[in-house]
Amino acid sequence: MSTEESPREIAILGAGKIGRGVVGLLFSRAGYRLHLYDMYMEGMRKLEAQGYYDVRVTDGHDVDESTRIDDFDIVDSTTDAEVIALLQSVDIAACCVYEGAFKSLARVIAEAVSQRHASGNERDLNILLCVNALGAPAKVVSYIEGELAEEHLTYFREHVGVCQVMVLAAGIPSDPDANPWQVVVSANPGLEIDADAWKGPQLQIENVSFIRGAQGHIYRKVYCGNMRHAMAGFMGKAAGHEFICDCHKDPWIRANIVAAFEEAHAAIVQEYSFDPAEDAEWVEFIYSKLDADVKDPVDRVIAKTDEKLSHDNRFVGPALMCLRHGIVPFYLARGIAYGLDCLAAEQGVELKDDAAVRAYAREICSLGEDEWMLLDLVAKQHADIAFRAAE
């Protein structure tokens, strides 16, 4: 670890709602200059010409604050040259992109790491993975190491931290008449960074904290918090609701998503170790979101339904974890059934009978022969949904 002082700058790779709205807001408030990198170069040039953007933080009730951010620059993404040069000079890079972009980012990170090593740069570089992708750090490390020459591997392992980050906020669509570069995020935005992977002295930034055992925390976030949010969307779509806040106000939906959350949480706390006080605080934070009145569209929340229903993701993953720990995932199976209905409608698939439901669930959720118990639960829940709809 170098004693050389790090610059108060951050590269934000992926300048969307999380990148500019959560990471950008927190670091800008702490006096950091933002370097924004995004493949949407035409839009970035328009933002550059405007010279500022506003971040609105709201819960739809009493919290409604705006912060103007103007200490930023735009990194040219038409070639790799500028971003590689940037990653040689900054010591923090937040990756706010979908998993599909990991390989291409790993390539430019590897080139920057090679050049940092060759130039004798002894400062640590921390890569913050601000994405709800389970197992993301291991994947990114594998991709980077696959791009590095043998001579740079030891340097990479000693000086580069690839850190899972829990983003404690959601991006929300702006009002139609708002400035096109405004970003709206849910109240109390924060970041939790994997302390075990971080290299060097920890940051001292308001609402940015460091945690041990980050793997358990990201699984808790995805399997409990993100699952509940998506399930509200699936059920809300069936009920004809437009916004997630309307789903939360629906007593039937609210009862089901809370029960599914409790199933998933009961399994998670058996699978991973959490500090009881911290876990209780986290649960209270997640429950508080049920009473927010933010206009988050149902259609946005249920986007990429097939991914949400995949084997290790936010529904099947916690349901199977429940079964491993002797918990019947009754309500999680209901969430899967509602999700299958959403996806079937999107794909024009008719789930006309039990056999069709089972075949579709096997295909979408990749359920194996030994996972028949979950398949049975999903099929029974789907039959119950169909019965209720016919009443």
Q: How confident is the model at residue 7 (pLDDT cuts 50, 70, 90)?
A: confident
Q: How confident is the model at residue 3 (pLDDT cuts 50, 70, 90)?
A: very low
Question: Domain check: are 18 and 165 in the same one?
Answer: yes
Q: What is the pLDDT of residue 4?
A: 59
Asked if pLDDT for residue 1 goes beyond 60, the answer is no
Structure tokens at 142: 């594998």
Q: How many other CB atoms are there within 10 angstroms of residue 362's CB atom?
A: 15
Q: Tell me the average pLDDT across 90-119.
A: 96
Question: Domain check: are 187 and 224 in the same one?
Answer: no
Q: Where residue 242 sits, what CATH number does that domain have?
A: 1.10.1040.10
Domain that holds residue 358: 216-390
Structure tokens at 172: 């929300």
The reply to whether 305 falls in a domain is: yes
Backbone angles phi and psi of 175, in degrees to 5: -65, 150
* Pair type for strands 72-75 and 92-95: unpaired
Structure tokens at 105: 């980012």
The reply to whether 222 falls in a domain is: yes
Asked if pLDDT for residue 286 goes beyond 90, the answer is yes
pTM confidence score: 0.90
Asked if pLDDT for residue 139 goes beyond 70, the answer is yes
Question: Domain check: are 158 and 232 in the same one?
Answer: no
Q: What is the pLDDT of residue 339?
A: 98
Element (H, E) at 230: helix 227-239
Total number of domains in the chain: 2
pLDDT in tens, 122-133: 999 999 999 988
pLDDT in tens, 140-186: 999 999 999 999 999 999 999 999 999 999 899 999 999 999 999 99
Question: Domain check: are 197 and 279 in the same one?
Answer: no
The residue among 70, 64, 54, 67 whose CA lies nearest residue 181 is 54
Q: What is the pLDDT of residue 390?
A: 81
Q: Tell me the average pLDDT across 81-89.
A: 98
